[in-house]
């Protein structure tokens, strides 16, 4: 098979059920990284700090990739380190997230014309839009203090996902999400699993777990009322015996 030229694959393939089958193999995980890498420079906010993500980079935590690919964290660590050792990616780790750079990203995206696609403007793309400057809006730090019970890693992954799909959470929206988690937790749902479910499916909201029905809440027993009812039953029994 010739290695020259390239074919155009839309990022929507990542939503295909066949693509989501788990666990991923290494080849699919590598292509998935290219698919989810930023096509243009952008940024998002975590814990009041701006994380800048350039073209050809992706900001995904190891936990998020593990859920996405159906792997454990150690396997993801080994795979990323191997890709780095063979100079396919670069890694920048900090206390907020892991910033991964796809080396030679331009080679996979810009070199030549897709095989079987005519030169010029892609179908459905208006001419003259490629050089259009996009006005960048500077985000302000979000003043939000998460509660101590909130699972840190799943929460950060959920916030990252919302930023990537251009639905960044405001401080008010974060509080609403926490309130929703409290309600689901009271119904017996694990908050970490709820967050991971939404992150994996790119859901904006938080929902009850599909495969783990909520535990039925037990009705409190009024012990004092039960004792009084038992005494009343005994008194009536003695009265019946006398008559």
Residue where a domain terminates, one of 87, 109, 131:
109
**89 lies in the same domain as 174:** no
pLDDT tens-digit map of 4-21: 667 778 888 888 889 889
**157 lies in the same domain as 74:** no
C-alpha 240/C-alpha 232 separation (Å) is 12
- Within a domain: residue 217? yes
C-beta separation of 61 from 80 below 8 A: no
**95 lies in the same domain as 148:** no
- Within a domain: residue 4? no
Give me the mean pLDDT over the 159-167 stretch: 88
- Within a domain: residue 216? yes
pLDDT tens-digit map of 96-131: 788 999 998 888 876 554 444 444 444 444 444 444
- Find, among 187, 197, 212, 127, the residue nearest to 161 by Cα: 197
- Within a domain: residue 115? no
Supply the DSSP string of 38-50, one letter for each residue.
-SS-EEEEETTEE
- Within a domain: residue 125? no
DSSP 129: -
Total domain count, the chain: 2
pLDDT tens-digit map of 177-222: 988 998 888 888 898 899 999 998 889 899 998 766 544 444 444 5
Residue where a domain terminates, one of 67, 94, 109:
109
**104 lies in the same domain as 146:** no
pLDDT tens-digit map of 49-93: 888 999 999 988 888 899 999 999 999 999 999 999 999 999 998
**CATH code for the domain in which residue 58 is found:** 1.10.10.10
**241 lies in the same domain as 147:** yes
C-alpha 101/C-alpha 89 separation (Å) is 5
**53 lies in the same domain as 96:** yes
For residue 52, give the 3-state DSSP assignment: strand
Give me the mean pLDDT over the 162-167 stretch: 88
Query: What phi, psi does 155 have (nearest 5°)?
Result: -65, -45
- Within a domain: residue 137? no
- Within a domain: residue 121? no
DSSP 58: E
Question: Quick check: pTM over 0.85?
Answer: no
pLDDT of amino acid 66:
92
> For residue 152, what are the domain limits?
142-243
């Amino acid at each position: 098979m010739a290695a020259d030229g390239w074919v155009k694959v839309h990022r929507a393939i990542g939503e295909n059920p066949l693509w989501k089958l788990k666990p991923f193999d290494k080849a699919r995980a590598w292509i998935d990284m290219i698919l989810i890498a930023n096509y243009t420079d952008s940024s998002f906010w975590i814990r009041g700090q701006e994380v800048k993500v350039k073209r050809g980079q992706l900001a995904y935590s190891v936990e998020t990739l593990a859920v996405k690919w159906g792997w454990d964290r150690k396997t993801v660590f080994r795979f990323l380190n191997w890709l780095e050792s063979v100079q396919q990616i670069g890694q920048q780790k900090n206390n907020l997230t892991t910033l991964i750079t796809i080396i030679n990203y331009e080679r996979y995206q810009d070199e030549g014309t897709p095989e079987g696609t005519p030169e010029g403007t892609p179908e459905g793309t208006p001419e003259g839009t490629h050089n259009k400057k996009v006005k960048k809006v500077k985000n302000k730090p979000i003043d939000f203090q998460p509660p101590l019970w909130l699972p840190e890693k799943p929460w950060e992954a959920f916030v990252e996902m919302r930023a990537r799909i251009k639905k960044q959470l405001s401080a008010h929206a974060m509080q609403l999400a926490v309130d929703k988690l409290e309600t689901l937790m009271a119904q017996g749902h694990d908050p970490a699993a709820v967050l991971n479910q939404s992150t994996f499916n790119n859901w904006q909201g938080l929902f009850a777990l599909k495969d783990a029905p909520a535990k039925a809440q037990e009705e409190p027993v009024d012990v004092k009322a039960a004792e009084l009812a038992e005494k009343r039953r005994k008194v009536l029994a003695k009265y019946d015996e006398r008559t």
